């Protein structure tokens, strides 16, 4: 692994600035939506969440529920308090709205007790890259929102957009780099494109995907690529997949780079079927 590249993840000034901004933004909201990916309901969690939001209520929005292994993901999330599992591309967002209203009612009751007026819920979205933050914001607002898609560390203004008469939303999400002390978590995150190839190369990621699927869902590997087993150095597997998928270089030999990309794409397009990589 290239050391310069590995450092991108831990650019301390950048990290500190992002976190400071997030702390500021979080101090303005009543409720936080923590967006996680249902296919990695442990690995995609925001580690510093409690530092950032203190004791504010939070709703976990587990996106891409359509692509995950439901029984595994349900089990992992069963002890969490407010969880909405959702396919953001199809499902209605009513569950998110009603969970928000419910939490806000408590907050407003406390305000009333203190002699303050009731007011709209102010919420913000926080999550690691590629979990569906922008999609969620667009769904809530009902149209494409300009501030959406900002990269971490970019200074932006605080803009509130109205979701409905009871809810206001911060227009840009808080993005945090995931932490990964262990290689397994880094590879799961990379498999689902939440950390980019700056940190791990596509061969490493693709071989990890093959290994994981063989371990957890061997029948899916057989179905997709006709593989019953995995050889230790993945060469036979790459040869089989490359030939099957026509990933050949000009000379007719298997193009390993292309095979790696096929494997990563197949996973992310849901072509192996429903998969959850965390246990």
What residues make contact with ligand GTP under the rule CB under 6 A? 63-64, 66-67, 86-89, 127, 129-135, 149, 175
Judge contact between 23 and 49, C-beta under 8 A. Answer: no
Judge contact between 5 and 162, C-beta under 8 A. Answer: no
Give the number of residues in contact with Mg ion, rule: CB under 5 A.
3
Name the minimum Å distance from CB 134 to ligand GTP: 3
Judge contact between 121 and 103, C-beta under 8 A. Answer: yes
| Pure H helices in 114-254 | 133-141, 183-191, 202-216, 218-225, 235-245
Torsion of CA 95, 101, 103, 106, to 10 degrees: -150
* DSSP three-state, residue 55: coil
Residue closer to ligand GTP, measured from CB, 66 or 80? 66
**147 binds Mg ion per the rule CB under 5 A:** no
Residue closer to ligand GTP, measured from CB, 57 or 132? 132
Name the minimum Å distance from CB 269 to ligand GTP: 9
Distance from C-alpha of 99 to C-alpha of 58, rounded to nearest angstrom:
10
Residue closer to Mg ion, measured from CB, 133 or 258? 133
Work out which of 95, 147, 149, 270 binds Mg ion, going by CB under 5 A: 149
Binding to Mg ion by CB under 5 A, coded x per residue (else -) over 102-141, reads -------------------------------xx-------
Name the minimum Å distance from CB 142 to Mg ion: 17
Residue closer to Mg ion, measured from CB, 148 or 221? 148
Judge contact between 236 and 256, C-beta under 8 A. Answer: no
Catalog residues that contact Mg ion under the rule CB under 5 A.
Answer: 133-134, 149
């Amino acid at each position: 692994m290239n050391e310069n590249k590995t450092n991108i993840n831990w650019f301390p000034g950048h990290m500190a600035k992002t976190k400071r901004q997030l702390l500021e933004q979080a101090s303005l909201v009543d409720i936080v939506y923590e967006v996680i990916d249902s296919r990695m309901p442990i690995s995609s969690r925001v580690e510093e969440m409690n530092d950032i939001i203190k004791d504010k209520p939070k709703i976990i929005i587990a996106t891409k529920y359509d692509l995950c292994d439901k029984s595994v993901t349900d089990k992992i999330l069963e002890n969490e308090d407010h969880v909405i599992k959702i396919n953001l591309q199809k499902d209605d967002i009513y569950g998110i709205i009603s969970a928000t209203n419910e939490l806000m009612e408590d907050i407003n009751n406390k305000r009333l007790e203190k002699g303050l007026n009731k007011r709209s819920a102010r919420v913000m979205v926080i999550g690691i890259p590629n979990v569906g933050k922008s999609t969620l914001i667009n769904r809530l607002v009902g149209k494409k929102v300009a501030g959406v898609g900002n990269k971490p560390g970019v200074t932006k203004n605080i803009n509130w957009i109205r979701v409905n008469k009871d809810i206001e939303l911060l227009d840009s999400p808080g993005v945090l780099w995931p932490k990964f002390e262990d290689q397994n978590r880094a590879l799961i995150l990379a498999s689902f494109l939440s950390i980019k190839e700056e940190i791990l190369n596509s061969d490493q990621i693709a071989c990890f995907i093959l290994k994981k699927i063989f371990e957890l869902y061997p029948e899916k590997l057989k179905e997709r690529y006709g593989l019953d087993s995995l050889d230790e150095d993945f060469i036979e597997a790459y040869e089989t997949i490359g030939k099957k998928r026509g990933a050949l270089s000009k000379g007719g030999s298997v193009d390993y780079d292309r095979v790696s990309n096929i494997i990563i794409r197949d996973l992310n397009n849901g072509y192996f079927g429903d998969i959850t990589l965390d246990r």
